Chain A
Amino acid sequence: MKPLRMLGRSVRDAIKSVIRNFSLSLASISCITITLIIVAVAIIASFNVQNFTQEIEKDMTIVVFVDNDAKEEDVEVIEEEIKAIKNVDKYTYQTKQEVKAKMQEESEVFKTVLDTWEDDESPLKDTFQVKVKNVEKIRKTAEKIENIDKVSTVRYGEGMVDKMVSAFSSVEKVTYGIVIALVIVTVFLIINTIKLTISARRREIGIMRLVGASNITIKLPFIIEGMILGLFGSIIPVLITTYGYLAFYKHFDGYLYSRLIQLILPEPFIYQTSLIVIGIGILVGMIGSASAVRRYLKI
């Protein structure tokens, strides 16, 4: 029961202190709010980008057509060379017969058309289907494969996609930079808020130490105060995240750019994002207050 009682006391003290230093608390909370809004937008954007790049990556395949005059040894050489390219993740090989069978399986129309061709007059070719590790570099990889002997044409997805993916990833990096800078500013603001609280309560802290309060008892109210600032600061960002994303999703009907990009379903995504935002808010508050306590409490 004793730790619970101490916790209750600490929470009470922390709330009192937030109210007492209202203007500075408000400044910290506002700073956390702004940071968390940007963090929330960044989270939503990056999860969505990740989601659809994964979708695209699943579909993105380099199709390598082997020249008709290539012999079995040539195919082996081609295979070795493809294997040697770093960005190549997996590949499969299909002879023209296998391609034909597969196409016939997929459609009745193909089945009848393809059946009219003999093997030697077939326009189909032996193919390698290559998956890459990094879609951003798919163009270079395709170029390398194209330079291999006895390879006629190389084709991969839509030309725009790799550019888009790499654009998104640089936007993501810039966002991370902004988020980190904002978090640092916020932490400093919280340190200052807690510093003020500590100095306002010097006398009380001195007496607490005289009468034998343990260090954790003395520190806890300040740490909880930081966490409360973080919690309050996450209220508006959570509301914006939840209702904002719902509205956004509804407005675009779940897709962006004519069905190219599919958005993540709002549920449970918005709840997960909210939890992450609250978590970051509380954590930032805690880090700020813990370092203020370490710096200014000297115990």
Chain B
Amino acid sequence: MDLIRVKNVEKKYKNGVTAIYDLNLAIEKGSFVFVIGGSGSGKSTFIKLLYREEKPTKGQVIVGGLDVAKLKNKKVYKLRRKLGIVFQDYRLLPKLTVYENVAFALECIGEKKDVIRIKVLKALEDVGLKNKVHEYPDNLSGGEQQRVAIARAIVNDPKLLLCDEPTGNLDPEKSLEIMKVLESINKSRGTTIIMATHDKEIVNKMKKQVITLKDGHLVKFKQKGTYAE
């Protein structure tokens, strides 16, 4: 079963730049997919189309049976509740503890306190941060902060986890830690993961599916791909 289907998608920004040209692809449920390509190749735009931060100028983006391109602004929140998103810059709230940062995602959608407690602790356990529950983000390393962000993204048990350069600010060792966390989430929770990156080492090591973009065009979609030119 395909979780994502992209049909004839073009994205042209208002300034006239076309970031994606006639993109067609499908991503299966439960898969782990890298999106690679040089800077400006359209990786972030592709991710943004999936969580409806941007609308395609042409074509269909179907996520979990829902045509995201047609979604009204007011209804975008329904899509967002079904997916988790992680960025290079973590996007944590500095005044909240680790626990509160993760709980925030559930409070925003009106979840009950006792349910929040169970889910948050489970998510923090999954990313290996159960011992840092009461720390503030500023007292954590970059890798730990990113793991908090991942916990927040998966706390509502989404079907899809989108990551835009999650290891971009981390050294190779910490990057690998993050990759282990993502892989275990993919395995244990069955979450479909799409990760944009330009880190060759990671891609080559993980042996996952690889979508290669170049100047907005799909170059390759390989099952067990590596970062090749």
Whether the pair B73, A204 counts as a contact (CB closer than 8 A) is no
Q: How far is the CB of B177 from chain A (nearest CB, A)?
A: 23
Is B187 an interface residue, CB under 8 A from the partner? no
Give Cα distance in the complex from A214 to B76, angstroms. 8
Contacts of B104 in A (CB 8 A): 207, 211
Give Cα distance in the complex from A203 to B109, angstroms. 17
Is A295 an interface residue, CB under 8 A from the partner? no
Whether the pair B80, A210 counts as a contact (CB closer than 8 A) is yes
Is B16 an interface residue, CB under 8 A from the partner? no
The proximity string for A residues 195-238 relative to B, scoring 1 for CB distances below 8 Å and 0 otherwise, is 00000000110111111111101000000000000000000000
Is A6 an interface residue, CB under 8 A from the partner? yes
Give Cα distance in the complex from A213 to B107, angstroms. 9
Is A173 an interface residue, CB under 8 A from the partner? no
Give Cα distance in the complex from A63 to B104, angstroms. 78
Interface residues on A, range: 20 to 34
Whether the pair B110, A2 counts as a contact (CB closer than 8 A) is yes
Q: How many residues of B contact A (CB 8 A)?
A: 22
Contacts of B108 in A (CB 8 A): 208, 211-213, 217
Is B14 an interface residue, CB under 8 A from the partner? no
The proximity string for B residues 70-110 relative to A, scoring 1 for CB distances below 8 Å and 0 otherwise, is 00011011111110010000010100000000001101111
* Contact for A299 among B73, B91, B156, CB less than 8 A: B73
Give Cα distance in the complex from A1 to B79, angstroms. 23
Is A71 an interface residue, CB under 8 A from the partner? no
Is A9 an interface residue, CB under 8 A from the partner? yes
Using A2-B110, A5-B110, A9-B107 as known contacts, say yes or no to A215 and B77 having CB atoms under 8 A apart.
yes
Give Cα distance in the complex from A3 to B105, angstroms. 16
Q: How far is the CB of B106 from chain A (nearest CB, A)?
A: 8
Q: How far is the CB of B78 from chain A (nearest CB, A)?
A: 7
Whether the pair A213, B77 counts as a contact (CB closer than 8 A) is yes
Is B11 an interface residue, CB under 8 A from the partner? no
The proximity string for B residues 5-26 relative to A, scoring 1 for CB distances below 8 Å and 0 otherwise, is 0000000000000000000000
Is B152 an interface residue, CB under 8 A from the partner? yes
Q: How far is the CB of A277 from chain B (nearest CB, A)?
A: 34
CB closest residue in chain B, given A5: B110
CB closest residue in chain A, given B96: A204
Whether the pair A211, B93 counts as a contact (CB closer than 8 A) is no
Give Cα distance in the complex from A3 to B152, angstroms. 23
The proximity string for B residues 23-39 relative to A, scoring 1 for CB distances below 8 Å and 0 otherwise, is 00000000000000000
Q: How far is the CB of A207 from chain B (nearest CB, A)?
A: 6
Give Cα distance in the complex from A204 to B80, angstroms. 16
Whether the pair B110, A217 counts as a contact (CB closer than 8 A) is yes
Whether the pair A207, B110 counts as a contact (CB closer than 8 A) is no
CB closest residue in chain B, given A217: B108
Whether the pair B74, A215 counts as a contact (CB closer than 8 A) is yes
Contacts of B77 in A (CB 8 A): 209, 212-215
Whether the pair B109, A213 counts as a contact (CB closer than 8 A) is yes
| B interface with A by C-beta (< 8 Å) | 51, 73-74, 76-82, 85, 91, 93, 104-105, 107-110, 112, 152, 156
A-B contact pairs, 22 of them (CB 8 A): A3-B110, A5-B110, A6-B110, A203-B91, A206-B91, A207-B104, A209-B76, A210-B51, A211-B80, A211-B81, A211-B109, A211-B152, A212-B77, A212-B79, A212-B82, A212-B105, A212-B109, A213-B77, A214-B77, A217-B108, A217-B110, A299-B73
